[in-house]
A and B are shown apart, each in its own frame.
Chain A
């Protein structure tokens, strides 16, 4: 088996909101292999961002990591001093956020922002960093790199800004790229361009990607393996192939059923009822029970563990075997 580049084990993250606590991540374990593209899907608030950002030391101060390890190349990121972590972030691990406007510096020329990342990580000297910036802008499909180098973020469209974010994230040739909903705010045409770009870079550099998305179309077309998060827990983890052929968690099936595709005008909709739980208490039973058509007494009493029901197919559901057997 390919070695894990990043291995997260039993991660638990909690936020203090003054009057109460939010149990955002409740015992999440998974790993990303070298060269692998892992999709992390789930509805908003399911803990996708907090899981990865807490490993990188990027959550707000009211957040606390209660337990777990996050080993990058064998070294626990959660035990590192801030300086050490800053060093890895941006050099070995690149990050792209959903909204490029909040992470780009509005008063700094975009070329300087790309160069800065290489200079602070001593990846290259000034001259070389400058040349590489032009090269990156070119690879990102930005016409006239020399002229655009001098422009500020607001002088670009949303799609262009996202390309610049990617250029910054890729500048030091990271081994792992964490992309937090990199195309959610973009038009489908631009989404396609960005994903094509990421795929090409991944192939060229043998880079691993953790792609956070709530779009199953993006996850299944782009990723090798998929994790479904719900209420800060992994509900299902499988190869994309297994995920497409036969998922075994009622929530995954419900989500797949919620997607409307072209040519389905006559289809009857069958929405998942209700909404995701507020996470003010740690889960003691199945978090999906109140919305699950298959819920039984046991589901309301006992927390289902994430089990490997067949090779590389993990499911957290008491009735996973039944679901599979009957393909309900």
Chain B
């Protein structure tokens, strides 16, 4: 029998109330994630990626749906019941500085995370800080530094060290490389890859950079206005992008051409993401979709399999 996945997200929805109006941030999202694997989330700004990540961590409460972590339904657990599970689920942010106290040294910040969870004695924790810093490729003297003294890339490594200090099973990486320079991005990507292998980590990797998501992920979900419009194995999803929105995203990436006569035409999708307060009727992508028909404007498409694990939500798919 196959072992059960580390994470099961079932029909999860989140609606925010903003000035008396409802905003659909995440709509009926489902996926499963096995231990040691990576789920990539892509989509334009506001599509619900971070909200989904925070729902999984129970930093937000879902309005509907179920989240099962390590075989346990955590959807309704109280904060107190969640506490022992917090160690297993960590998050890395785009801006590590924002999540660190400016007055605490790097060493103290990492140690603090362990102390909160009563891990080890003070001496043991200090030894672990050294190990962790080395593991993420930083000199141990960094522990005496304050956040403002480090570069963005170094701080992101500290953020990773802090998340690792608790030996988590699941790490949500919310745009961990977006603020970094390309040369540093590659260093951090490589580090995340190595750590995953060494500690059998499970990742949810959120990024605007489709190529990096494809590179790091086993499965990918494409979000649009809070809904998953396409989902499947990373390679297949991008090699045979069936959903029109996946196609649009791919066409919008400017690749370095081989030569100047192979440059991309700068033509693009019209329009902007509609307001999440009153999403369009039928298929929410229809106002921007080059293939939209009357059916699309009226009827919501259902999820269909277009590969053994590749599914899309589009009337055109069969």
Contacts and interface: CB of A to CB of B under 8 A. Distances in A.
Chains A and B belong together in one complex? yes
A259 B254 contact: no
Contacts of B151: 275
Contacts of A273: 187
Given A217-B255, A241-B259, A263-B239, 10 more contacts: A158-B45, A187-B208, A188-B208, A188-B249, A189-B269, A192-B254, A192-B268, A196-B266, A244-B258, A271-B186
A105 interface: no
Interface residues of A, number: 47
A160 B260 contact: no
A252 to B, nearest CB: 11
A195 interface: yes
Given A159-B272, A262-B210, A189 B186 contact: no
A284 interface: no
B259 A260 contact: no
Contact of A188 (B215, B252, B259): B252
B293 interface: no
A258 B266 contact: no
Interface string B207-251: 011111011000000000000000000110011000000001110
Interface of B: 44-45, 151-154, 181-187, 189-190, 193, 208-212, 214-215, 234-235, 238-239, 248-250, 252-260, 263-264, 266-269, 272-273
A262 B211 contact: yes
Given A189-B252, A240-B260, A265 B215 contact: yes
A218 B238 CA distance: 21
A273 B190 CA distance: 12
Contacts of A265: 214-215, 234-235
19 contacts: A44-B152, A187-B44, A188-B252, A189-B269, A192-B252, A196-B268, A216-B182, A217-B254, A218-B254, A222-B266, A244-B256, A244-B257, A255-B183, A256-B256, A260-B211, A261-B255, A265-B214, A269-B189, A272-B186
Nearest to A41: B182
Interface centre among B211, B234, B258 (most CB of A within 10 A): B211
Contacts of A271: 183, 186-187, 190
Contacts of B259: 241, 244-245
Interface string A57-84: 0000000000000000000000000000
A255 B182 contact: yes
Interface in A140-195: 157-160, 187-193, 195
B50 to A, nearest CB: 14
Nearest to A261: B211
A269 B184 CA distance: 12
A262 B182 contact: no
A255 B214 CA distance: 20
Residue of A188, A222, A267, A273 most packed against chain B (CB within 10 A): A188
A319 B153 CA distance: 29
B256 A259 contact: yes
B272 A195 contact: no
Contacts of A187: 44-45, 208, 252
A188 B253 CA distance: 6
Contacts of B267: 192, 196
Nearest to B238: A262
Contact of A220 (B44, B249, B253, B263): B263
Interface of A: 43-44, 157-160, 187-193, 195-196, 199, 214-218, 220-222, 240-241, 244-245, 254-256, 258-265, 267, 269-273, 275-276
A260 B269 contact: no
A327 to B, nearest CB: 15
Contacts of B249: 188-189
Contacts of A258: 182-183, 185-186
A190 B272 contact: yes
A244 B259 CA distance: 6
B214 A221 contact: no
A192 B154 CA distance: 31
A157 B253 CA distance: 21
A43 B254 CA distance: 18
A192 B151 CA distance: 30
A261 B182 CA distance: 12
Nearest to B261: A241
A326 to B, nearest CB: 20
A61 to B, nearest CB: 21
B248 A244 contact: no
Contacts of A159: 272
Contacts of B256: 216-217, 220-221, 244, 256, 259, 261
A189 B268 contact: yes
Nearest to A141: B270
B266 A160 contact: no
Given A264-B215, A265-B214, A267-B215, A43 B183 contact: yes
Contacts of B209: 260
Contact of B189 (A188, A214, A260, A262): A260
